[in-house]
Structure 1
Amino acid sequence: MTDDELATLRRWLSEGAPSTNGGVHPSTFADPRTIRGHAQFLRNQWYRPMTDPNDADACGHCHAGAPVNPATFPAPGATPCTTCHGDEGGVTACTTCHGAPGRSYPPRDLCFFPEAAAAAGAHARHAGATGSRAEGLPCTVCHPTPTRDNVLLSGTAHLDTHVEVFFDYARAGNQAQFDATTKRCTGTCHARGGARPDVAWTDPLQNPAQCNDCHGAPPANHYAGACTSCHREANATGTALTNPVLHVNGRVDLGDGSGQCGACHGAGESPWPSSGAHAAHANPSAARPVPCESCHSVPSAGQKHPIGGGARVTFGGLAIAGGSRATFDPTTKTCSQTYCHTGRGANAPDPKWTDGPSSAACGACHSIPPPAPHATETNCGANTLCHQGSLSSGTTFTALGKAAHVDGTVTRGL
């Protein structure tokens, strides 16, 4: 023994070597598969050597990386626990007893336990990413999951030799149940009106879930049009997922799932789509922005949104000001008799949704000037008696002019 090795040994003896008559572990002690291995030894002791620093066989007397370390200095040459248990949490990581390095759910490490694959059931289909989910479900959806502090406490549901299934009703459904004898789930995420509501734990291996198994495509009493009208996670026919991030996440998402108007139409907090004449109504050149409720029923908090299909045009507000009997033809996409466009002497009183800027040009909604008894002045902004200040030049409206134009009232002056 070299001087350095001797000094290390003396330091270990003086700083924490246990008083014990025990010898070196048997040759099979490191092998988790044998009955003489450390895994079986710890189970027989209810893991006290890992959790009790006063236990005569406390792992931390010699090994670094044990949950408790009664010794201030590990034994020279003793293998650290983290040599094999390298995941976060070390020996108390979920991967130690079920799972494998980098994976917390069963089966156990198939390098050591190849027979475990047959008993793994649907863990990979639930805890791992699949075609129906972008990421796995947390273990807490189906099991009581211990914290790092109580993972090794005897008497807890975690170390009672049984695997408990306690559903998180917020994710699994408030009717969720599991029959330990038949290993079948009822009332869970799978029971949403589809063709196969009650599934066995081994089904995903033998008969993986398909679209229409959990809920109909479309569900009962649901809008019968294309799924893509409302949901961005599926294709139009509901036979395949395109964005599984929004699927099986505990809620029904519309659009991109943000909960804002832009989730389905528009962008972010803006409800304005980019199609047709939406931009011209959102930021008109000759008026203030047109309120959405002028053309659509806009839901308020707590109200249901119009369900499914294209947007419905239901005129109100500005469109029917002054008693106008506004109508919309969805076939030709033409507006008629609206307050906004059907003024006296209008050149384009019945605009199409796709007509473009010509529908809002000066003279399109009312003649310039309007018919008698209106004054015959054509330079509206120069008329000191009526609309002075509404236009900066020609047909360019000022900010004050836009605010007073097409507002439901004919205003003289500003």
Structure 2
Amino acid sequence: MTHSTLNPAGTTPPELVEFPMPRASGCPFDPPPALYAEQKKGPITKVALWNGGTPWVVTHHAEQKAVLSHPAVSADISRPGYPLQAPFNGGTLSFILMDDPEHARLRRMVTAPFAIKRVEAMRPAVQKIVDDAIDAMLAGPNPVDLVEAFALPIPSLVISDLLGVPYEDHGFFQDNSKTIVRRDATAEEGAAAFANLAAYLDGLMGQKMENPGDDLLSGLVERVKSGELARSDAAQMGVLLLIAGHETTANMIALGTLALLEHPEQLDLLRDTDDPALVASAVNELLRYLNITHSGRRRVALEDFEIAGITIRAGDGIIIPNDIANRDPAVFPEPDELDIARDAKRHVAFGFGPHQCLGQPLARLELQVVYSTLYRRIPSLRLATDLENIPFKSDGSVYGVYELPVTW
């Protein structure tokens, strides 16, 4: 789709491609063809947005890392020139849309529970959650929707336990989370869903003021009591962690399973191994190959700087779609092939630089347990419909499937 109608005044060059681009029919795991075309033009090109903006899009692996770690690049959504996905409603998902030093100050308050050693200690508990979900699935109806029966409950249970959120409220927080990550939600719908979750978490923190527990929200309450953190900021941080902690991993579980079912030789390798290193490698490769953050990370330049011989001016918007960098042939030979034995550690599915995903150790752990357990325990797992009947989430900031009918 070219940008021929967004700006009738003619101030936007009509040859610019509109971002985000549609995926090719029948190729649900690959970046859009137009994004590949931009990558072939060079590491940094211009695209058009829904509002007439013309931000840069960075498509090569090395340049994405350079931009994401550059001190002249801002994640602050309120700055002029920021390449918005939709009209800005004034709300922010806590520190991910802030710059240092405030970003670093707030982020440090919640890093400890996601430290690798702390997360690794959760492996037996996560294993039990996964096994219980499989037991329930085997005892229930067949075929079943893997999203509702397995992919969504597992990370929801894990993050609920970590945060200190009652899992029985999962319907409420999942519904509001889905609205927030939907690209076609109106600004009013997104703001209302965010307000619902913030009010819910504020209420939970009120309870923890009186009866603190050994959970992340109780830790934030202590920061509020000490004056380090405003209660409203603590609630916003809770919203961020709740959404990021279940929505992204749930989509990765379902989409990863679908990709493996469509690549049976890779699924056989994973199912038959008892090597934790191959399981960890499979997780990295699926993160590289799929990359569910498909609307691109968004930034704006604070001052002029140069990358790859191109001058980016102060106020220029920048979009960094990690999915296309993960298909950069300069870094990943045969990038469009799924190969769970490849060394895919250099993928940028979790971003890069100061805003790199805080929860990645937990996401990796959950995916390792899922991918090493589900297919071994249900070796005959297969799709209960054709690939073309699967509804993909092309309308949100997080990619995945709405449902995944499976049988065995």
Q: Determine which structure has more spread, i.e. the larger CA radius of gyration.
A: 1
Higher helix share: 2
Higher relative contact order (Cα pairs below 8 Å, separated by 6+ residues): 2
Task: Tell me whether the two structures share a fold, i.e. TM-score over 0.5.
Answer: no
Normalising by the smaller structure, the TM-score range is: under 0.3
Normalised to the residue count of structure 1, the TM-score between the two structures is 0.22
